[in-house]
Chains A and B, each alone.
Chain A
Amino acid sequence: KAGVTQTPRYLIKTRGQQVTLSCSPISGHRSVSWYQQTPGQGLQFLFEYFSETQRNKGNFPGRFSGRQFSNSRSEMNVSTLELGDSALYLCASSLDLAGNYGYTFGSGTRLTVV
């Protein structure tokens, strides 16, 4: 079956712009989480959605937001981009909220802010 699909794979944006990233989870998975990976901070949790509701949120400013649609696909949005937002953004899906079956990650979206 298809894995977690993230689009686009690469993005270059200018400081001050906004960006939307997309994540399609594995069919049947209802939980989608987002992570930011940078060389300096490592892997950091952004937020988790389950059944179209945000269930958990990490320590990121309000410029970072997300949503989940009825088909479980999720988008995250970053407004007023800063140079420090350059990172690999990873999406993970799981069957349930508790993670009993593990989390499957997509290949990520590499965002570069110039």
Chain B
Amino acid sequence: AQSVTQLGSHVSVSEGALVLLRCNYSSSVPPYLFWYVQYPNQGLQLLLKYTSAATLVKGINGFEAEFKKSETSFHLTKPSAHMSDAAEYFCAVSILTGGGNKLTFGTGTQLKVEL
């Protein structure tokens, strides 16, 4: 079965600083990996996805993530944090099994951006 671990339930950075949100996955087969962002009282917005193409994936709002098979990691980064980046971020893994598919989410990381 697949699983996702997000290290750090809360991360705080200064505006303009590097954002690094960590995600490690466990999967017996090559996974698809996703990062989603959730603002208060909203659904999930897709930031980026890895589906076995390029290992460095660029997403929206300046975010990117690198798939590292040897480390089973898919960390999310942004060079310079903005106040509007404050939200909860979820890493998810997806595997097609049998006739169906599902996303398995990590527990989320709340990002706080300070002036």
- Asked whether B45 lies within 8 Å of A56 as measured between CB atoms, the reply is no
Chain B residues touching A, majority SS: strand
**Candidates A43, A55, A98, A99; contact of B105 at CB < 8 Å:** A43
Q: B38-76 interface mask toward A, CB cutoff 8 Å, 1 = contact, 0 = none? A: 000111111001010000000000000000000000000
Which chain A residues border B90 with CB–CB below 8 Å? 43
- Asked whether A56 lies within 8 Å of B43 as measured between CB atoms, the reply is no
Q: Classify chain B's interface size.
A: 20 to 34
Q: What is the distance, in angstroms, from B23's C-beta to the closest C-beta of chain A?
A: 14
- Asked whether B99 lies within 8 Å of A42 as measured between CB atoms, the reply is no
Q: Which residue from chain A places its CB closest to the CB of B104 in the assembled complex? A: A45
Q: Which residue from chain B places its CB closest to the CB of A48 in the assembled complex? A: B100
- Asked whether B103 lies within 8 Å of A33 as measured between CB atoms, the reply is yes
A-contacting residues of B (Cβ < 8 Å)?
Answer: 32, 34, 36, 41-46, 49, 51, 90, 92, 94, 96-108
